[in-house]
A and B are shown apart, each in its own frame.
Chain A
Amino acid sequence: MMFNRPYSAPTACKTSGTDLSGWLLACIITTLALFFAGDAQAQLRVDISGAGAQQYPVAIADFSGDAAGSQIAEIIRNDLTRSGQFRLIATTGSTLNVDSPIAFDEWRTRGADFIAYGSVIRLPDGRFEVKYRLGDTVKRGPLDGFTVSGNEKELRRMSHQIADRIYEKITGIKGVFATRIAYVLKQGKTYELQIADADGQNPQVALRSREPIISPAWSPDGARLAYVSFESGKPVVYVHHLTTSKRAPVANYKGNNSAPAWSPDGNTLAVVLTRDGLSQIYTLGANDGSNLRRVTRSPLIDTEPVFAPDGRSLFFTSDRSGSPQIYQTGLEGGEPRRISFNGGYNISPRISPDGKTLLTVTRRDGTYRIASLNLATGAESLLTDGRDDQSPSFAPNGMQVLYAAIQGGRSVLAGVSSDGRVRQTLSVLNGEIREPTWGPFSQ
């Protein structure tokens, strides 16, 4: 096996319905038998359902030259499919390498507006060199080319990087397939803070504990995670350097310390402390916890701060109106402005990278769902329809939302496109996935 994770292809993709546009595709893909080789021995299952508004028809040919080539193409296909923005055109019977002349008209006839292909060369030192090309069948010419090399373990990441190139060249939006996610996996009485690729594969354990871990938050450079650990018997905020595994408490005051959020420049953390009574929001230095400053002053609960993309204000949850709602405040104090008004329970604010859309967890009819609020118009849409959907976070390009859902009585990792049209599930079967959060673009 070329890859460190055995992998199998989508087993079924069903087209149904004939929308006027001809683009609507209801697709259910089940990728089975993805076994983790790690000590968790968990099994990953990917389901995609939903219908994208516009889908670019793209053909991804198996890369030639090495057995790894077909698997590279499969990872790229799965990435593009998961976004909901692409429709895969079959490449049956074609054999293309990086230097093949492309019969653009033939691919156009097959229905593909774009054709990706390439070659894999195993270098004398055992490393792999992957060359990829992207052709535009409408303009009948090359659109992109890229060469990347790495060892066997890096083949998945290299494939994700190529998928990111394809995604960006076609949509004009930066891809997120080579990014990472963090989440907490609870198995029995053990809690693991795990880091995985954006597709849920290649999980690594950053921290294992017998006590709960909640609220992981990525530093903007992706090098550190802040989180809340109960290992000392109460919630304490830690900052953890992922490359060195060095970790230290940055907020360990009397009472609770929780809800860390990074400023966009990575220098400041907003945290929630109860040192002065009920939960209130403070800022402190992300490196050493210095320069503690109180931001909110209310007699009730203020929690779950997140920085606006410009770093000048915070969105947060407060029950100052009698029920939990989302507010926005400047860092220098002042009267917070209420943001959410629909329903009696809105928590866990997350702001889109462009600052225009706010996600919340909202309670409706006794269920918890992910809501998306347009801050300019106040228009709200419910992105999910689960029973207990929690912990939403945006992909760094703002196109996808990761969240925790209850399915079949267990907490699983789920995703939905920002327009709510395409949903997917990544479920580790041997545990409960909690508190997922999507990392930044890789640097």
Chain B
Amino acid sequence: MSRIAKALTTAALAVSLVACSSVSLDDKAGAGGAGGADGSGILDPFNSQSILAKQRSIYFDFNSYSVSEQYRGLVETHGKYLVSAPQQRVVIEGNTDARGGSEYNLALGQRRAEAVRRMLTLLGVSDTQVETISLGKEKPKALGNTDADYAENRRADFNYKR
């Protein structure tokens, strides 16, 4: 991971390395097929082929609010882009699974979003670029009540603003 991080110190490059890092990130079904040769190295959140569009989700373990090692590379990729595009704003949206109360889950989702924001801050992203909000358990992506559904909903998403 540190090798990748070093290689990514300038945002304009790293075409192949981003693709490489995304392979290790892609253990979530549907996370975008990860990398590939077809333009996934483009760092443009509004280009559907870009990793910034395809991989916008950080997943969390049950009852966990820290970004796991597995997702640090992805946060770094988004962070480098944001540093390179200081006018670009992003909203980090935290989500939780359906268990527990609405308001406490709203607060938990915020903790997840804040964990991502703090990483971005350490990477040099300006506070003015980032707003963190939580959707709590109110906007579930997976609608079922299986463990897999719960895991899909324990998530913070990068939502880039045009």
Which positions in A face B, CB cutoff 8 Å?
212, 214-215, 230, 233-235, 254-256, 258-259, 272, 274, 277-279, 300-301, 303-304, 317, 324, 345, 347-348, 361, 363, 368, 388, 390-391, 434-435
From residue A104, how far is it (CB to closest CB) to chain B in Å? 51
1/0 per residue, CB under 8 A from A, across B88-101: the answer is 00010000000111
- Smallest CB separation, A277 vs chain B (Å): 6
| B76: min CB distance to chain A, Å | 22
Contacts of B103 in A (CB 8 A): 214-215, 258-259, 272, 303-304, 317, 347-348
Q: A-facing mask of B5-45, CB < 8 A → 1, else 0? A: 00000000000000000000000000000000000000000
Are A301 and B131 closer than 8 Å at their CB atoms?
Answer: no
Q: How far is the CA of A435 from the CA of B103 in the complex (A)?
A: 10
User: Given A368-B100, A390-B101, do A255 and B138 touch, yes or no (CB 8 Å)?
Assistant: no
Contact B104 A348 (CB under 8 A): yes
Given contacts A234-B91, A235-B133, A279-B110, 9 further A-B contacts (CB under 8 A): A215-B103, A254-B131, A255-B110, A259-B103, A274-B132, A304-B104, A345-B100, A347-B100, A363-B100
Q: For residue B102, which residues in chain A have a CB less than 8 angstroms away from its CB?
A: 214-215, 390-391, 434-435
How many residues on chain B are close to A (CB under 8 Å)? 21
CB proximity of B45 to chain A, nearest CB, Å: 17
- Tell me whether A212 and B107 are in contact (CB under 8 A): no
B157 within 8 A of A: no
27 sample A-B contacts, Cβ–Cβ < 8 Å, listed by A number = A212-B138, A214-B102, A214-B136, A230-B138, A230-B139, A235-B133, A235-B134, A255-B131, A255-B132, A256-B110, A258-B106, A272-B103, A272-B107, A274-B110, A277-B114, A278-B110, A278-B111, A279-B107, A303-B104, A304-B104, A345-B100, A347-B101, A361-B101, A388-B99, A390-B101, A391-B102, A434-B102
Residues of A near B108 (CB, < 8 A) are: 301
Identify the closest chain B residue to A230 (Cβ).
Answer: B138
A434, closest chain B residue (CB): B102
